[in-house]
């Protein structure tokens, strides 16, 4: 847990990756500094901004103005909103747009948007001309605390989420907390699931603090910046130890094995935002840990209670259209979980809990135990 932020100065969190290290700049109204930061980082570079239609209405003009203020030429590529844009077709659209804009290896791509845009633009940057550097400008809470940091980029496959992609680290992350003011309450709640995740998986003190201060995070102010900075520090430390997820970086996937299956079952639609799937998945992981006698039922209930207290879904029955598209079918969910990236030689791997604040990687989980657990939860 970090010391409380007591002023309005930006906070910088470093991601220590040797000659590929980069900074995460966190603070209110830091977006106008983007151009001058890029000019200092990459003199003479041209820029292509990748964003979606909704973000473009609010922030594209301000981003272009920040670049122009530093004398940086820019072009724009605007795509549709939502998980549907993490597709082969839209990846081709963005890649061809970058080539048409004559973005070269010494230029930069800016991912201006939430997690979808960060994943999509980052992946396009990783493959165009065999690799162009990029800058993350995350505009959602989820992206600011999770997907913009760590270099995971990619698109979805019809078989599952994020199954096509690459590790491609950004060279800079600008997390302007003022942009969060334009999020809907539901979008902000979905992002908060990833904040809570850091406490549940590795920082009991942070989780205690979130239980006491989540109201201040939702209302804005210093608590919001503190929560974002604490989350970024937690992720940066894990990424620095295990960049390519060969070890304990997998801990960051707490709730994601269940959550990604639920997202696939709902067709990657707005019936279930990513953070909402993570919230349900975290509760399922906690309850499954209790089923295996790894944690107490009271600890599992504590996780569920906190997520529910901020308005997040915590049960399968909370998902819109619960009876549709396989959500009430344990076998369908098991099939989707079998596509999880942590599966090794067909054997399930889960991130489970030994206590609130301590997650562990559990290999070779018995599929019959998982199926029986899911069947019980599906029956309500």
Cite the active site residues. 130, 152, 194, 235, 245, 249, 253, 256, 260, 274
Distance in angstroms (rounded) separating the CA atoms of residues 315 and 318: 5
In DSSP terms, 246 is beta-bridged to none
Distance in angstroms (rounded) separating the CA atoms of residues 362 and 364: 7
The SS3 of residue 50 is strand
The number of angstroms, rounded, from the C-alpha of 35 to the middle of its chain's C-alpha atoms is: 25
Q: How many CB atoms lie within 10 A of CB 322?
A: 16
Residue of 315, 324, 322, 320 whose CA lies nearest to 376: 315
In DSSP terms, 23 is beta-bridged to 14
The SS3 of residue 78 is strand
Distance in angstroms (rounded) separating the CA atoms of residues 323 and 150: 36
Phi then psi for 70, rounded to 5 degrees?
-100, 10
Distance in angstroms (rounded) separating the CA atoms of residues 189 and 326: 25
Distance in angstroms (rounded) separating the CA atoms of residues 119 and 99: 18
- 47-52/108-113 β-pairing: parallel
- 22-27/47-52 β-pairing: unpaired
């Amino acid at each position: 847990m970090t010391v409380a932020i007591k002023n309005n100065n930006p906070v910088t969190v470093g991601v220590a990756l040797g000659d590929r290290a980069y900074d995460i700049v966190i603070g209110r109204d830091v977006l106008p500094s983007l151009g001058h930061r890029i000019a200092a980082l990459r003199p003479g570079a041209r820029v292509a901004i990748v964003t979606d239609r909704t973000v473009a209405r609010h922030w594209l003009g301000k981003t272009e103005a920040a670049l122009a203020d530093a004398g940086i030429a820019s072009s724009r590529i605007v795509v549709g909103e939502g998980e549907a844009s993490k597709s082969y077709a839209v990846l081709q659209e963005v890649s061809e747009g970058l080539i048409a804009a004559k973005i070269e290896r010494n230029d930069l791509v800016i991912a201006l948007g939430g997690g979808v845009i960060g994943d999509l633009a980052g992946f396009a940057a990783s493959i165009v001309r065999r690799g162009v550097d990029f800058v993350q400008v995350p505009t959602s809470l989820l992206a600011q605390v999770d997907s913009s940091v760590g270099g995971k980029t990619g698109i979805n496959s019809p078989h599952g989420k994020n199954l096509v992609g690459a590790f491609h680290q950004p060279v800079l992350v600008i997390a302007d907390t003022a942009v969060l003011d334009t999020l809907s309450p539901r979008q902000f709640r979905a992002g908060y699931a990833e904040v809570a995740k850091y406490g549940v998986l590795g920082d009991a003190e942070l989780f205690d603090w979130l239980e006491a201060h989540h109201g201040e995070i939702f209302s804005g102010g210093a608590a919001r910046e503190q929560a974002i900075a604490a989350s970024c520090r937690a992720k940066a430390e894990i990424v620095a130890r295990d960049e390519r997820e060969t070890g304990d970086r997998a801990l960051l996937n707490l709730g994601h094995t269940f959550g990604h299956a639920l997202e696939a079952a709902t067709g990657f639609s707005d019936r279930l935002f990513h953070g909402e799937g993570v919230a349900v998945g975290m509760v399922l992981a906690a309850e499954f840990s209790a089923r295996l006698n790894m944690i107490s039922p009271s600890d599992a209930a504590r996780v569920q209670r906190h997520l529910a207290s901020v308005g997040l879904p915590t049960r399968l029955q909370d998902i819109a259209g619960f009876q549709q598209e396989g959500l009430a079918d344990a076998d369908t969910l098991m099939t989707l979980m079998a596509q999880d990236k942590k599966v090794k030689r067909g054997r399930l791997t889960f991130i489970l809990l030994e206590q609130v604040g301590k997650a562990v990687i559990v290999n070779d989980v018995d599929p019959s135990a998982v199926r029986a657990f899911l069947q019980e939860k599906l029956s309500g």
